[in-house]
Amino acid sequence: MMRQYTAVLDRFEEDTAVLLVEADGEVVDELLVDRWELPKPGREQGAIFDLRVFGDSLRVLSYRPAETEARSDAAQSRFDRLAQDLPTTDDASSEEDGSGAESTGPE
């Protein structure tokens, strides 16, 4: 019986690649693979693979460059949104009183 999963390269521990195995968007297992077993273009953290498992031991990994790039772009976009400056207390006060301008002193 064949089972199909998504695997994400999480990290390397010396010459061993640690793949997080996902099913329905949830991590369900870790898979340890020799670095040389991975396709060369997929030997980078965050690389996405199709993982097909036949029986208890035979497995096939196929690198998915388009999905790797899409996930990377989505993660960067989330980070960028979170990193935007939030209004400071002074900015919020100016917006509340409608002035929108800073006071430069008595006129």
pLDDT of residue 38: 92
Share of the chain above pLDDT 70, in %: 78
The distance from CA 46 to its chain's CA centroid, rounded to whole angstroms, is 6
pLDDT of residue 103: 47
Query: pLDDT tens for residues 2-45?
Result: 889 999 999 999 999 999 999 998 999 999 999 999 999 999 99
Q: Model's pTM, two decimal places?
A: 0.66
CA distance 35 to 18: 9
State the average pLDDT over residues 86-100: 56
- Provide the mean pLDDT of the chain: 81
8 Å CB contact between 5 and 25: no
Around 15, how many Cα atoms within 13 Å sit in the side-chain half-sphere? 3
Q: Where are the domains of the chain?
A: 2-83
Which pairs with CB-CB distance under 8 Å and at least 24 residues apart come from 26-35? 31/7, 31/59, 33/61
CATH number belonging to the domain at 2-83, selected among 2.40.50, 1.20.58, 1.10.1760, 2.60.40: 2.40.50
